[in-house]
Chain A
Amino acid sequence: MAYNLDFDWLSQAAEPIARGAVATVGLIAVTAVLGTLCSILGAAAVRGRSPLLRRAVGSYVELIRNTPFLLQLFFIFFGLPSLGLRLDPAIAATLAMTINLSAYGTEIVAAGLDAVPNGQKEAGRALGLRSSLVFIKIVLPQALKVIFPALQSQIIIMMLESAAVSQISVRELTYEADMLQARSFRAFETYFIITMVYLVLSFCLRRLLGFTGRKYLIGAAP
């Protein structure tokens, strides 16, 4: 059977593809910032003094890490309305992505906190700093420096997983692909091009994160 690949539709597809890519980048940018902040708070709680907080955040991490992202997304978007909480698809997607990323991020940042020698904390205390300041100024920067590569990978994984949010009709890259292939009847070619766009995006994101990390984290650490 002979089949000729056809990329003629591509000339009209540049705009939707660009729009979708921008939306995907926007989603992961917001998620990365919120997720990193929540991961730091989560890690502080997991390694903190309150047993209740430790238990609560620990359960959250285990629950998220052992269930699929798609299910978490559907639970938020289709499940929560029956409790009276109806969310816009983009908000639901950002929320689900942040919750997912934060669970993995908490584990990663917590591992970073473990890697900072205890003497650092003691030295900070000996200088008379409050324990919150010791955490923010001394322990955390060193922890982030150690775990940055792992966090970077997790953010990229999240970007790739975000393809699933097309299922609740968030207009990102995969959603645009679905629309394009429905119009062109060239499903394979469409998804092939979009896959390549994702490949480029993950490559650029890795570069960008690596650059930012080197500049602000590695350079800034004492």
Chain B
Amino acid sequence: MDFTFWDILRNLLLATRWTILLSIVAFIGGGIVGMAILLARVSDRRWLRRFAELYIGLFQGTPLLMQLFLVFFGLPLIGFRIEPWSAAALALTLCASAYLAEIWRGGVEALPKGQWDAAKSLGLHYPNQMRLIILPQAFAITRAPVVGYLVQLVKSTALTSIIGFDELMRTSNAIANATFEPLTVYGLVGLIYFVICRPLTLYARHLQLVGGVGQAR
């Protein structure tokens, strides 16, 4: 079978949908779970803090590839059907939650202690102190590293090809094998990842320059 350049490009672009979708799902899922981990990480209870610390350390101290394998082979053991898409989405969500929680923790701890005192002196209870005073500021000053992490997340979706999820990387392997033109195919794939990631990198850099300043009013 003959592949023209356009066949290759069209197939790669179709597969890119899955890369983008997986990145979005993992980012949103990671944000939600990461919120919970963050609350545990900065909580008053020691055991909750310890648990969150352990959780974050575990995900940041082991390869994502291993996490993918553990979810992929672990899910069937507790009675779920094995499937690359759900394993990929779950593993990346958990991994992203650890990184995002750690980034936000940095934001919470960077806030002056006076913010907590001020929130208390307004008579707010802990949940409202968090919701109205602390978290909005912590999120605002950590926008740059969060976008930076999104770039990392997009790139790490490539690893899900190894557990058989048909995203950009896996499709490119198949096409490279079929066309015997690995240089063209991998070159194009690099270009596609670059086009996705580079604007995000620039945006993160922009946020770093202006975002923090705007917050410090």
Contact = CB atoms under 8 A, between A and B. Distances in A.
A71 B61 contact: no
Given A79-B182, A174-B63, A69 B69 contact: no
Interface string B43-84: 000000000000000100111111101100110011100000
A161 B63 contact: yes
B183 A192 contact: no
Interface string A155-187: 000001111101100000010010000000001
B190 A163 contact: no
Contacts of B79: 1
Interface residues of B, number: 40
Interface of B: 58, 61-67, 69-70, 73-74, 77-79, 151, 155-159, 161-162, 169, 172-173, 176, 180-183, 186-187, 189-190, 193-194, 197-198, 201
Contact count band on A: 35 or more
Contacts, number: 115
A126 interface: no
Q: Which of B79, B151, B186 has the most CB of A within 10 A?
A: B186
Contacts of B193: 66-68, 71
Contacts of B162: 70, 164, 167
Interface of A: 1, 3, 62-63, 65-72, 74-75, 78-83, 160-164, 166-167, 174, 177, 187-188, 191-192, 194-195, 198-199, 202-203
B73 A82 contact: no
B53 to A, nearest CB: 14
- Which of A162, A188, A198 has the most chain B CB atoms closer than 10 A to its own CB? A188
Contacts of A174: 63, 65-66
